[in-house]
Amino acid sequence: MAWDFETDPEFQKKLDWIEDFMREEVEPLSHLGMAVHGSLGREKFIKPLQQKVKDQGLWACHLGPELGGQGFGQLKLGLMNEKLGRNGLAPTVFGCQAPDTGNAEIIAHYGTDKQKEQYLWPLLNGDIRSAFSMSEPTGGSDPLTFKTRAVLDGNEWVINGEKWFSTNARYSKVLVLYAVTDPDAKDQYRRTSIFLVPTDTPGVEIVRNVGVGSGEIGAGSEGYVRYTNVRVPYDALLGERGAAFVIAQVRLGGGRVHHAMRTVGACKHALDLMCRRAVSRTTRDGKLADLQMVQEQIADSWIALEQFRLLVLRTAWLIDKHKDYNLVRKDIAAIKVAMPKVYNDIATKAAHLHGALGVSNEMPFMHMVTSSLVMGIADGPTEVHKVTVAKQVLKDYRPDNDLFPSYHIPRLREASQEKYAKELGELKEAYKAAKAPA
């Protein structure tokens, strides 16, 4: 029987290197703000760190060797991402930043040789960025409500519509666009296709950049994108016509798991800061750590985090075992449901224990709270995933439509008495014999 909670010693050395690298080089760099972004900043700060990661054989580990990665299974990725998740710059340094990872994955699976040459290899090398242009202002991420249309005109597609929250649109070279191509298809899930649209194509307009949470309007990285008579060649189609829903599930299944892995790290970071505050801050009655209500909050946070972490790692293990996201739908949906709640609860408690400092912009907690709300929306809202969990659980049950159910206690008692009638009879006779006069 194989059942183990220990990490392979050789891989543990890699994790130890990541821990030191994060603390000594990645986390300090993240405090330089916009200086590390842009072409000059990336060359001076990011590229050297990326090279160190490559030298360690830890670059883009979610990909197979044929794509320049290590082909790590999901369980190893989970252990890695716990460490990367505590800092927003880390995924870029390790070549696994969203949405580029998911976009690269579907281009690798479904792209033509020309598409791979034009977009995949530059994405994998970190030379360009991409945007995931799916959600719309009118219906969110539900593909059955999409209004954006792509109409075939000779050998070109003409695209019209608007997209909302196209992450990294302002930095992207290519937009992975979802558009309706067959509105009258009998199978409603075959009505939408995916296109690779260069961001500088005439008719592509970034109406404005939207930020998450507070901050200056127009300074965010979530693009509100308008497509007006955008013309792309027929071979801009990614995969088969009408296959957007199937391709999206391949992309989003892995994305949801990796979000959860990194959220484990973010939760651990919040808990660490909460505990450091508790043992450091002194009140008139002693340290915060001596107060039972604070102890309760820390205990609840630790228990919730450990439960969530084990659920994430078990899900990763199941993906490695089955090699099929569809067979792990329930588990993936479950971690997606748990993720925003656990993250929000721990981040909120951490902020509260830091008092006014905790809710200021001089601490990370309000960003964490906002991020937890994003996790309840990104890659599908929590409610949708709860429905998936329930359906997957219920499919293993069959109706029990007698007047009283088969688990009705009187019915169970009657069945037990019938099953053990012989033994009960023998026991009854033994009692009679024991009471008989000598």
Smallest CA-to-CA distance from 134 within 148, 150, 123 is with: 148
SS3 category, 163: strand
Q: Tokens for 165, please give them.
A: 């929250």
Would you state the pLDDT for residue 380?
86
Q: Which long-range contacts (CB under 8 A, 24 or more apart) does 323-326 make?
A: 325/249, 325/250, 325/253, 325/254, 326/249, 326/253
pLDDT tens readout for residues 207-227: 999 998 877 787 788 999 999
Q: Supply angle C-alpha 254, 262, 299, rounded to 5.
A: 130
Q: What is the average pLDDT value for the chain, to the nearest integer?
A: 93
Residue with tokens 């030298």: 55
Percent of the chain with pLDDT over 70: 100
Spell out the residues 6+ positions from residue 99 whose beta carbon is closer than 8 angstroms to its own: 130, 131, 132, 167, 168, 176, 255
Would you state the pLDDT for residue 248?
85
Residues 130-238: name the CATH superfamily: Butyryl-CoA Dehydrogenase, subunit A, domain 2 (2.40.110.10)
Confidence of residue 438 (pLDDT cuts 50, 70, 90): low
For 371, list phi and psi in degrees, rounded to 5: -60, -35
5-33 average pLDDT score? 94
pLDDT tens readout for residues 50-72: 999 999 999 989 888 887 778 88
Would you state the pLDDT for residue 392?
96
pLDDT tens readout for residues 354-385: 999 999 999 999 999 999 999 999 888 999 99
Query: Among 58-62, 236-240, 315-319, where is mean pLDDT lowest?
Result: 58-62
- Please give the sequence-ordered ranges of beta strands (E in DSSP) within 260-410, or none if there are none: 282-283, 286-287
Q: Sign of the CA dihedral 87, 274, 263, 196? A: negative
Could you tell me the residue ranges of all domains in the chain? 9-111, 130-238, 246-394, 403-438
pLDDT of residue 1 exceeding 70: no
Would you state the pLDDT for residue 29?
92
- Is the bond leading into 122 cis (omega within 30 degrees of zero)? no
DSSP state of 363: S
Question: Please, are residues 77 and 258 in contact by the beta-carbon 8 Å criterion?
Answer: yes
33-54 average pLDDT score? 88
Would you state the pLDDT for residue 303?
98
Would you state the pLDDT for residue 300?
98
Query: Among 7-11, 99-103, 217-221, 321-325, where is mean pLDDT lowest?
Result: 217-221
Confidence of residue 231 (pLDDT cuts 50, 70, 90): very high
Would you state the pLDDT for residue 215?
74
pLDDT tens readout for residues 393-422: 999 999 988 899 999 999 999 999 999 999
Question: Please, are residues 76 and 11 in contact by the beta-carbon 8 Å criterion?
Answer: yes
pLDDT tens readout for residues 158-169: 999 999 999 999
Domain at 9-111: CATH architecture:
Orthogonal Bundle (1.10)
Would you state the pLDDT for residue 24?
97
pLDDT of residue 295 exceeding 90: yes
277-282 average pLDDT score? 97
Domain 246-394 has CATH 1.20.200.10: no
- Taking the C-alpha atoms of residue 40 and residue 241, their distance in angstroms, rounded to an integer, is 40
Higher-confidence residue of 332 and 41: namely: 332
196-211 average pLDDT score? 96
Q: How many other C-beta atoms can be found within 10 angstroms of the C-beta atom of residue 178?
A: 25
DSSP state of 158: E
Question: Please, are residues 168 and 99 in contact by the beta-carbon 8 Å criterion?
Answer: yes
